[in-house]
Structures are given as C-alpha cells and as structure tokens.
Amino acid sequence: MPPQPSSPFPDFIYGTAWKEDRTAALTELALRMGFRGIDTANQRRHYFEEGVGHGLAAAYNAGIVTRDDLFLQTKFTYQPGQDHRLPYDPAASLSIQVAQSMASSLDHLATDHVDSYVLHGPSSNHDWTDADAEVWEAMRQERDAGRTRLLGVSNVSRRHLQHMAADRAELPAFVQNRCYARLGWDRAVRSFCHDHKIVYQGFSLLTANQEVLHHPLIASLTGASLAASANATPAQVVFRFAHSLGILPLTGTTNPEHMKQDLTSRDIELPPEAVQAIEALAG
Ligand SMILES: NC(=O)c1ccc[n+]([C@@H]2O[C@H](COP(=O)([O-])OP(=O)(O)OC[C@H]3O[C@@H](n4cnc5c(N)ncnc54)[C@H](OP(=O)(O)O)[C@@H]3O)[C@@H](O)[C@H]2O)c1
C-alpha cells in the first residue's frame, strides 16, 4: 500500500526504542522500506531521540521522504522513568518540564511540530492524579500552540481513562499500550477507546504473546488453509489480526526482511471467523 500523506496517521508505526547507536541507520532503513510513522520518546534511558533526528535527516537528504510525508510521535516522560540524562530541569514545575521536553524533542527531530505527543505513563498505576492533570493541561497548551497536532496517553488502564472522563479532561486521540493476548488483547481498554473514538496503538504484539505465535491455530492460518496468505508467517498473522481489530500496531524490528513482512501483513486475507478465533484464544 503506498504512503498516504494526507491521512492523519499511518496504519503501521516503526518504534525506535532500544536501538542506541543503530537508531539513525534503522530509522532511515525503516523509511526506505516504506514506514511513514515513527515513534520515539525524549527518554534517553530507552530511546535515542537525537539519533532518530539523524535518521530523518538522512532520509530527507536521500530524497526518500519529506517531513510532510511523516507522522512523528514522541513522548513526555516523568522523572522516575528517566535516568540522569533529563530533557528538563527536574526542579521546575511539571508544566515547565513539559515545555522544556517538547522544545528538546523538536530540536532533536529538527521540526517545528510533531504529529502526536504522548504522556509516556501516568504518575500512578491506579489513578489519574493531579500531577497527570497538570501535565495533560501543559500538553494541551503545546497542542494549542501548534507544536503537536494530536495528543496521546500510554501505559494506561481503563480506570485511568474513566477517571479522565469523569474529570471532564479532554480525552486523548491515541492510547498506546502493551497488548497482551491473555487480557483479551487489552479488551477493556480497547472497548473504551472504541466507544470514545480513540485510536488504540498496540506494542509488544509479538514479544508479549509468544504463546499465541506458537499456537496451532496461528500455524494453520499461515498455511494452505488461506490461499492468499499461503506464505504468511505467524508474526504477519498477528499483525494482520491486530489491524482487523482496529489496532494501530507498532513494530521495532531491526531486520529489513521483517520490516517488509510487517508492512505486507496488511495485505493478508483473514476471514472474520479467524479474527474471532484468535481474539478468543487467550483471555
Ligand atoms: N509506550 C511505551 O511504554 C512503550 C514500551 C515499549 C515499546 N514501545 C514502542 O513500541 C515499539 C515496539 O516495541 P515492541 O515492544 O513491540 O518490541 P520490538 O522492539 O518491536 O520487538 C519486536 C520483536 O519482534 C521481532 N519481529 C518483528 N517483526 C518480526 C517478524 N516479521 N518476524 C519475526 N520476528 C519479528 C523483532 O526481532 P527482529 O529485530 O529480529 O525482527 C523483535 O525481537 C518500540 O520501539 C517503542 O517505540 C512503547
């Protein structure tokens, strides 16, 4: 499927976590292979956002893409999720930390705006706290100032989202969560997202669900039982299944062949009965 620059977001996102010195080269390679969505975070502990910027620059210089072709997503991360390499003054208020982190992200990515700005995780595993409300308001201000088009939250429970709604907070455009098959593929959060027109981004679709990748049902769907997917791999079936559920998947593969396979998974035919069967597999 060709890139769709006019759509508000792509249908696959390339994740740049844990790539360290290979971040620039792998970001450029992902763009060469056809990815148009890039996920990063201003959290040096797990991401090298500046390296993403170098990869983007290389792709622009090589004429592979322009900034307008891309969906760039980054995140604000609270101090407990960071190491000593902070993108803000830890003594500043949370609102100022958000502004400083965003300014640093724009500098790393050499752009005047990102497409999505995500709260990496709420400050508490249980509640949407006053700190989260302050950060969310600061993120809204970044959006209103044109430095991001859309806002998201990550690593949230249905309870967090319900709490946001009860507080009459603006709901996010995106939720980005680890998607466990054993939790019905995060069914509770996905159903909240569906009801509130929030796009659900799923990560760790492969790594969190090894038992599914090795399940006989998935094996049967990679073979001759589905003519159009005769050569599909288990990973491709899982990504196609995720798309069928309305999940916007992330992949952080470092392998060019896997990049191609992940993108072409969108073309696999998966009948509704197969989608239902996989959804019911675990949880
Ligand atoms: N918001 C958050 O807190 C958070 C947390 C974690 C991740 N993320 C985001 O999500 C992105 C993806 O992370 P992830 O947790 O899903 O894991 P990942 O880093 O993408 O790892 C995926 C694994 O699956 C393998 N793989 C990918 N495509 C494959 C294929 N077609 N066939 C076989 N193996 C394949 C990869 O191996 P190869 O490299 O060998 O292909 C890799 O071992 C991250 O880079 C990050 O941007 C966000």
pLDDT 10s digits, 158-192: 999 999 999 999 999 999 999 999 999 999 999 99
pTM over 0.85: yes
The answer, yes or no, to whether any atom of ligand 1 lies below 6 A from the CB of 250, is: yes
The answer, yes or no, to whether any atom of ligand 1 lies below 6 A from the CB of 209, is: no
Q: What are phi and psi of 117, to 5 degrees?
A: -120, 125
- pLDDT for res 7: 61
The answer, yes or no, to whether any atom of ligand 1 lies below 6 A from the CB of 210, is: no
* Half-sphere exposure (Cβ direction) of 85: Cα atoms closer than 13 Å: 11
Counting DSSP H helices and E strands in the chain, the numbers are 11, 8
pLDDT < 70 regions, the chain: 1-7, 223-230, 283
- Interior CA angle at 75 toward 141 and 247, to 5°? 105
The answer, yes or no, to whether any atom of ligand 1 lies below 6 A from the CB of 116, is: no
- pLDDT for res 15: 98
pLDDT 10s digits, 34-43: 999 999 999 9
Distance 31 CA to ligand 1 centre (A): 16
Distance 206 CA to ligand 1 centre (A): 7
Per-residue 3-state assignment (H helix, E strand, C coil) for 186-197: CHHHHHHHHHCC
